[in-house]
Amino acid sequence: MANTTFIPRGGATLAGIYHVAVLCYLTSLLFLYPYGIPLSPEVSLRIPDLLALPTLTIGATAILFRTQIRIDRTLLTVVGFFLLMELYLPIVGAVGYRRPVDVLSSLRMAMLWLPMIFLTMLARSSSALRFERHLARLLAVTLWLNLVYAILQIAAVAGLVPRWVLITSWLEAFAVERYDIVQGIRPAGFFNASTSFSVFGIVCLCFFYARFLAGGARQDMIRTLLAVGIVVLSTSRAAFASMAAILFAGWWLLPSVRRFTLLAILFGGAVLLLVVVEETIGIDVAFSRFERLAESGLFEDASFGARVYDIWPTAIAAARDYKLGTLIQAPRTLPLIDSGYLTYYLQGKWVSVAALSLLLAGHWFVGLRAYFGPAVRRVGVMTLFLGIFLTIALAISNPLRSPLVIFFIVYSFWRLDLERHAVSMRACATSSQSTSRLDRPRSGLRIA
């Protein structure tokens, strides 16, 4: 309980409604985030925005009428400075550039971060575990739907099924951002592109793998393997590297029998996948991006090499005109960047770099403490897994602007705080019972 501060407030009648609202909002992020109405060339109203605003209203009202709110100081320390920069810099830039529309970037960041942060301030331990059960069911259903639909997308590209069965192709007219439901043979599931599809697979891997390490439930193992399948179908190389690092890190926490069971399942699944791929579209076609990397090397690869020798130097050269950074989101003022690290440097220079460094260091520090700590806090390795993914993925993309990544960053710290709180409560209960036994007169002892 040392990392949580309780602040007295008035009433708690809206907290349960807010839990439902957050789950509905998350569902909209999982299936409807790419769609909306363009209001201008730079501004659009997404379908999840229509849920985010009433969700925030309910959360803020619940906080105002709550008897107690929880302030997780660990979350505040790790995320607070970074979130402040995400909210503050676009407002300063909008004033400086006399472009009021850029204030909406700050508003969108608020809509992505605050629903989950409000939940951490409202939920009690008992209701939080109930929320997690609903969350796990939602993610499990979404995993199955995306896995089946991704296979269907590949089958459509291979000519095995007609393309009209791809229902997301009917929704392309309503997309307000880049929309590639199949890039070559890389499926996007119900997301807008294969990159977002792979991010979904990674956050589900972090969530269910951490639960499996903590509890050993078979259904969490199955859902972990489903998440692995999502990442494999995406053929995202950054996601592959993150997945391998996460699986390897968690593998050492498993008992010996489960270690070899997991290895056997992964090896058997890989062999089966390669056989199926070879008999349908061909291994060289399905994994051409990996073959190209192996043949040419990392820096001569067409994708990574273009970043190193062209995209990144061009963006850095263009940023020299901005002494304090672009302030507004960098992609609005600079050419293609293709790196999260570089994006934050260009937006706020070393101040943003410091905020990002604190965010990443906090994930690693808190995650490693859970990793090497007692088994009862093992669910906290979710924070470490997210730290591994962010460290790798930020090199070539910006997952910190992904709604799902933001949701699970806050969730991982919240879940760890609840576990820490539960351990403290159990310790206090045990101590009280021991004290009571010591204070109780022993039978047969005569007291003068």
Q: Regarding predicted confidence, which is higher, 207 or 306?
A: 207
Residue 430 domain flag: no
SS3 166: coil
Residue 441 domain flag: no
Residue 214: pLDDT band (50, 70, 90) is confident
Residue 439 domain flag: no
Residue 446 domain flag: no
Q: How far apart are CA 113 and CA 36, in angstroms?
A: 20
Instruction: Please compute the mean of the pLDDT values over residues 104-121 and round it to a whole number.
Output: 90
Percent of the chain's residues with pLDDT above 70: 81
| Residue pointed to by tokens 């891997």 | 205
The number of folded domains in the chain is: 1
Q: Regarding predicted confidence, which is higher, 394 or 8?
A: 394
Instruction: Please compute the mean of the pLDDT values over residues 141-148 and round it to a whole number.
Output: 96
Q: How far apart are CA 116 and CA 119, in angstroms?
A: 5
Residue 241 domain flag: yes
The string of pLDDT tens digits covering residues 254-309 is: 888 888 888 898 888 888 877 877 766 666 666 666 566 556 655 556 566 667 76
Q: How far apart are CA 388 and CA 375, in angstroms?
A: 20
Q: What is the pLDDT of residue 421?
A: 64
Residue 144 domain flag: yes
Residue 447 domain flag: no
Q: What is the pLDDT of residue 143?
A: 97
Residue 410: pLDDT band (50, 70, 90) is very high
Q: Regarding predicted confidence, which is higher, 43 or 7?
A: 43
SS3 206: helix
SS3 342: helix
Supply 349's token pair. Answer: 């220079």
- Give every CB contact of residue 224 below 8 A, 6+ residues apart in sequence: 205, 208, 209, 212
pLDDT at 173 over 50: yes
Instruction: Please compute the mean of the pLDDT values over residues 8-18 and round it to a whole number.
Output: 63
Q: What is the pLDDT of residue 341?
A: 92
Q: What is the pLDDT of residue 375?
A: 65
Beta-strand ranges (E) seen in 324-435 are: none
Q: Which domain holds residue 8?
A: 4-424
Residue 448: pLDDT band (50, 70, 90) is very low
The string of pLDDT tens digits covering residues 304-320 is: 666 776 777 887 887 78
The sign of the dihedral angle between the CA atoms of 201, 247, 424, 218 is positive
Residue 248: pLDDT band (50, 70, 90) is very high
